[in-house]
Structure 1
Amino acid sequence: MGKLSSLSAREVERALKRAGFVFVSQKGSHKKFRRTRSDGRVETVILPDHKHIKEGTLRKGILRPINMSAEEFLTYLRD
């Protein structure tokens, strides 16, 4: 999906916040976000604070660990 290849860290951060994630901490150029699901599971995402986030980083490092599809992520991006 080509829409994921040209996103900035700011856009990804905005979408994560809309999905219920809250900023927890930052170490260097990496920000940590967390959310607690309704079943009690805590999900953590590490977002590199770079100008552009590579599609592979977004898919494999952010979306896959939280079991979010690209389509679902794009709905949060558009809101």
Structure 2
Amino acid sequence: MKNGLLLKKLRQIAKEKGTTFDLIRHGANHDVYELGGTRLIVPRHADVNEITANSIIKEAEKT
């Protein structure tokens, strides 16, 4: 999954839940975002592994 598509899905989840999706900090290989009080670690790679992307989305939906 492309990184941009993953971030778009995370923003959509935040909008549906009525919470914020904020960038906390940039790292060398990963970015840290906060979605409604839950911290999400998102790889900065152009292509994110499908298993990793689905895991991040699943974690975001639990909040």
With normalisation by structure 1, the TM-score equals: 0.58
Matched to 1:14, the amino acid is K
Report what 2:47 is aligned to: 52
Q: CA deviation at 1:45?
A: 0.9
Cα distance in 1 between the residues matched to 2:9 and 2:50: 15
Matched to 2:49, the amino acid is K
Q: Which runs of 4+ in 1 moved over 4 A?
A: none
Q: Using a 3 Å threshold, how does the CA distance of structure 1 residues 55 and 46 change in structure 2: closer, same or farther?
A: same
Cα distance in 1 between the residues matched to 2:26 and 2:11: 15
Report what 2:35 is aligned to: 35
With normalisation by structure 2, the TM-score equals: 0.69
Q: CA deviation at 1:23?
A: 1.2
Q: CA deviation at 1:18?
A: 2.9
Larger radius of gyration: 1
Cα distance in 2 between the residues matched to 1:63 and 1:14: 11
Figure out how many residues of one structure are paired with residues of the other and give that number: 56
